[in-house]
């Protein structure tokens, strides 16, 4: 990921998304949702379709996949997904290649970092500790539940504690939701393909889309 450094020139603070940006969990997430669809007799979802259809808020995404909340409440589906995710995340997810390198390079250049994620904040802190990279983040902002509704409000709160002007802050994420959040925060955004949404989908929305490698 060191190839991203030239694109970060002039920025003093980087806000990173977690899932699909620094953490490679895409295939594992597809496996879980595919099993849920199969269990409920819904159409299959391969990787190409997933990358084209995944979006926030998750409650709307699940509905688009065919889940009926009058049959199985969203809270129950969400609980099942999180349970399966927690069971396998230690062995089925990993940092993308080069994550530690770019975080170290930014620290060497005096560029500070924060984390903004739709993950439950307590879980997020544990994950960063487990991967040994929590020390790279001045602030870690997640959500207060497991329903992944929106990072927008948390992003606005994060901007209140970052000691840099908005023009010197950059948000890096892997979905169109990150673009929406960055716009609401009043900061620049760079999107990474190879995460939870495909390159063509991202590049149709935003001119700053970088490939993973």
Helix axes 26-39, 74-92, angle to 10 degrees: 140
Q: Are 54 and 26 a contacting pair, CB within 8 Å? A: no
Q: Are 24 and 95 a contacting pair, CB within 8 Å? A: yes
Domain of residue 158: give its range. 2-24+98-210
Three-state SS at 52:
helix
User: How far is 97 from 102, CA to CA, in rounded Å?
Assistant: 10
Q: Tens of pLDDT along 116-157?
A: 998 889 989 999 999 999 999 999 999 876 554 568 999 999
Q: Are 15 and 115 in a shared domain? A: yes
| Ordered DSSP codes for 96-148 | PTTHHHHHHHHHHTT-EEEEEEEEEHHHHHHHHHHTT-GGG-SEEEEESSSS-
Q: Are 118 and 144 in a shared domain? A: yes
Q: Are 77 and 158 in a shared domain? A: no
Q: Are 102 and 166 in a shared domain? A: yes
User: How far is 156 from 209, CA to CA, in rounded Å?
Assistant: 23
Residues paired with residue 164 on neighbouring β-strands, in sequence order: none
Q: What is the pTM of this model?
A: 0.94
Looking up residue 128, the CATH number of its domain turns out to be 3.40.50.1000
| Total number of domains constituting the chain | 2
Task: Tally Cβ neighbours within 10 Å of residue 203.
Answer: 13
Q: Which of 55, 76, 92 is the last residue of a domain?
A: 92
Average pLDDT for residues 173-196, to the nearest whole number? Answer: 97
Cα 196 from chain centre:
8
User: How far is 161 from 203, CA to CA, in rounded Å?
Assistant: 31
Q: Are 136 and 162 in a shared domain? A: yes
Q: Tens of pLDDT along 58-104?
A: 999 999 999 999 999 999 999 999 999 999 998 999 999 999 999 99
Q: Are 197 and 124 in a shared domain? A: yes
Q: Are 16 and 66 in a shared domain? A: no
Average pLDDT for residues 3-7, to the nearest whole number? Answer: 95
Q: Which of 92, 116, 145 is the last residue of a domain?
A: 92
């Amino acid at each position: 990921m060191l190839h991203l450094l030239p694109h970060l020139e002039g920025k003093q603070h980087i806000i990173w998304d977690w899932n699909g940006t620094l953490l490679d969990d895409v295939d594992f997430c597809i496996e879980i949702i595919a099993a849920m669809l199969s269990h409920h007799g819904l159409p299959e979802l391969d990787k190409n379709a997933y990358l084209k259809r995944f979006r926030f808020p998750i409650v709307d995404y699940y509905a688009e996949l065919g889940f009926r909340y009058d049959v199985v409440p969203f809270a129950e589906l969400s609980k099942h997904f999180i349970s399966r995710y927690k069971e396998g995340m230690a062995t089925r997810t990993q940092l993308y290649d080069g994550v530690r390198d770019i975080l170290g390079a930014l620290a060497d250049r005096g560029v500070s970092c924060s984390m903004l994620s739709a993950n439950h904040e307590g879980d997020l802190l544990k994950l960063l500790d487990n991967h040994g990279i929590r020390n790279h983040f001045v602030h870690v902002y997640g959500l207060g539940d497991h329903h992944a509704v929106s990072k927008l409000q948390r992003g606005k709160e994060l901007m209140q504690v970052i000691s840099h002007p908005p023009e010197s802050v950059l948000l890096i994420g892997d979905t169109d939701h990150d673009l929406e959040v960055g716009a609401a925060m009043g900061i620049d955004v760079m999107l990474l393909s190879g995460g939870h949404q495909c390159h063509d989908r991202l590049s149709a929305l935003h001119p700053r889309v970088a490939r993973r490698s």
